Amino acid sequence: MRRTITQLKKGLLFVAAILLTSTQLNAATYTAILSGAFSNTATWSGGIVPPLQLQLGDDVIIPSGITISLDQNLEIASSSTLDVDGALTGGTGYALILTSGTLSGTGSIDVDSFSAAFTSGFSFTGNLTTNAFHSTNANINSAATIVVDNTLYLSGGTMTMAAGSLALSNNATIVVDGGVITLSGGSANLANTYHVMYKGATSTAGIELSGSGLTNITINTNSGQEVKLSNNLTINGDLTLTMGALNLNNNNLTFSANGDLAASGSGTITSSSGSDITINASGGLSGTLRFTSGGNTVNNFTLNLGSGTATVMVNGDLMISGNLNLQQGRLNIAANKLELDANATVSGGSANSFVITGTGGTLSLNLNTGTTKTFHIGTNNDYAPIMIKSNSGSVNTRMNIGVNADVKANGTTGASAGATQPLVNATWFVASSAAAGVDVDMTVMWSSNMEVNSFDRTKAYISHYVNGKWDAYASAAATMSGSMYSMTRAGVNSFSPFAVFDENTTLSVDEIAANLAVNIYPNPANDVINISVTGNNTNMNAEIYNVSGQVVYKAAVQNNSSINISNLPDGMYYIKLNGQTANGTQKFIKQ
């Protein structure tokens, strides 16, 4: 039996030797003798064109002084060799594919596409230029000069620059789809303008984000996947969050003056208390900051936009553990909450930089006994801050405050009182986390352009919507500081909507609704205004006032009648109507 097995082994070895010898005997050397097309028989010694896939042991030689034009794909596989001491060029759509074997020589290669899936065998020391470089475990271990004109694909494994140099042409793109690039003796020149796109599964950012020429970044991973930063990141172009998440991973994110967030996409940012976000974008951000659920905490958040009206939008609640620095520009949190931790601080804040709270949005700050906090909030158009002073004996609490550019007849709903009533056209929504024991002084601030319907700031007061109505309070003259006016209400211990009225403001919901039944048109008007009211109003008394409060017209009028105003000087006027079922004052412009 042993003799039989021994004889069988000898037989198998003999067959293997025969097959190997046969393969080696079939291997060929192809030497270019003239410049020309790769597929042209005249190009090659003996008129024999190399196969499209080089076989085991095949050797293709392009000597110095010879230029071969690649007019078909060429694959170097098995133990074959392509030796380029001359030049190999390629037309559009043709690829040089190196899956194994050897690429050697000192000449130049300029092809449309170069695919590299090897860990050894690259000994080429010339110039390699390609429109697209596809890397799957490409190991560059010789002093080649590689230039990628359009796209570097990192499609899996590691592209190792053990030697040589890699450079990107202007506006080239690195596509990361399961691969990484490392430097271990070689170099990468990323000074030209270039872009990076992430696709596929979760990846950790590498040197592709470290170049001085980095401009646009696109995150387009599979759903639920992310790109983790390994260093701080500055956006100098567009950050596009198409899908997936950008995980700051305790690094900082900065938008430079030229940086922007694209409006398209559904991707998010994942942050924690170890990361800062700084936005210096000149025009604000085109897109909305979206944070991953559970990843919406930032240490320091700095807003320093190019103008006081530039805006950054936030879609979702945001927590700040360190500092909110409002230098310039507006932070629009819409209907969300911007919450500062108990020990967090606020820097800056002014008419040039504040938080837009929107409908239902709030800025949330801790308020301890004996302290004063200023909430730098406003509407889409106006800065309307509020200062809360905690009086002695007041309990510690968290104040949640927002402001809207309107005053509703019943606090949060109903007719708009700002359409007819003299008031500051804003409502401050104030809430406390403590159910009882809070005692504060409240100071609201506004600018003159928020005042409507001949509001008299010398006889003003803060009204509180409580027990189903707006209450009355002792009036006083507003305090002026710079371009802002302010009014204080002391000893506030219950919370809901607050607004600023004067002594002439109508508090009745029914009367406010009646005012809205009056329609004056056209507005602005040149010579004639028309009167239209709802309800049974046959005869009415009309009075027209100028902005100084002087009556400039008075007469009995009927519904759907007209008044000639051609003799009035151009400017703003108020018409007051008293009828059977509709009473109201409307503003109009004579021009």
Q: For the chain, which residues make up each domain, given as ranges?
A: 398-509, 517-590
Residue 22: pLDDT band with limits 50, 70, 90: very low
Nearest to 134 by CA among 149, 164, 154: 154
pLDDT single digits (tens) 525-546 = 999 999 887 665 667 888 898 8
pLDDT single digits (tens) 485-527 = 999 999 999 999 999 999 888 765 455 555 556 788 998 999 9
Enumerate the β-bridge partners of residue 239.
217, 261
Whether pLDDT at 138 is above 50 = yes
Residue 24: pLDDT band with limits 50, 70, 90: very low
Average pLDDT estimate for 402-406: 97
pLDDT single digits (tens) 71-85 = 999 999 878 999 999
Where is pLDDT greater, at 583 or 142?
142
pLDDT single digits (tens) 223-255 = 999 999 999 999 999 999 999 999 999 999 999
CB distance 132 to 155 below 8 Å: no
Residue 11: pLDDT band with limits 50, 70, 90: very low
The torsion of the CA quartet 221, 222, 227, 228, rounded to 10 degrees, works out to 180
The predicted pLDDT at position 222 comes to 97
pLDDT single digits (tens) 450-469 = 999 999 999 999 999 998 89
Average pLDDT estimate for 427-446: 97
Considering the chain, what percentage of its residues have pLDDT values greater than 90? Answer: 77
Whether pLDDT at 187 is above 90 = yes
Where is pLDDT greater, at 523 or 204?
204
Q: Which run of H or of E encompasses 21?
A: helix 2-26
Q: Which fold has domain 517-590?
A: Immunoglobulin-like (2.60.40)
The predicted pLDDT at position 118 comes to 78
Residue 10: pLDDT band with limits 50, 70, 90: very low
The predicted pLDDT at position 582 comes to 58
Where is pLDDT greater, at 256 or 56?
256
Whether pLDDT at 4 is above 60 = no
CB distance 139 to 183 below 8 Å: no
Q: Which run of H or of E encompasses 12?
A: helix 2-26
Cα(473)–Cα(507) distance, integer angstroms: 12
- E strand segments, 435-578: 440-447, 451-452, 460-466, 469-470, 479-481, 484-492, 497-502, 518-521, 528-533, 539-546, 551-558, 562-564, 571-578
The predicted pLDDT at position 515 comes to 53
Nearest to 219 by CA among 193, 199, 237: 199
For residue 510, count CB atoms less than 10 angstroms from its CB and return exposed for 0-12, middle for 13-18, buried for 19 or more: exposed
Cα(474)–Cα(584) distance, integer angstroms: 25
Token pair recorded at residue 441: 């002084």
Nearest to 405 by CA among 418, 414, 415: 418
Average pLDDT estimate for 303-324: 98
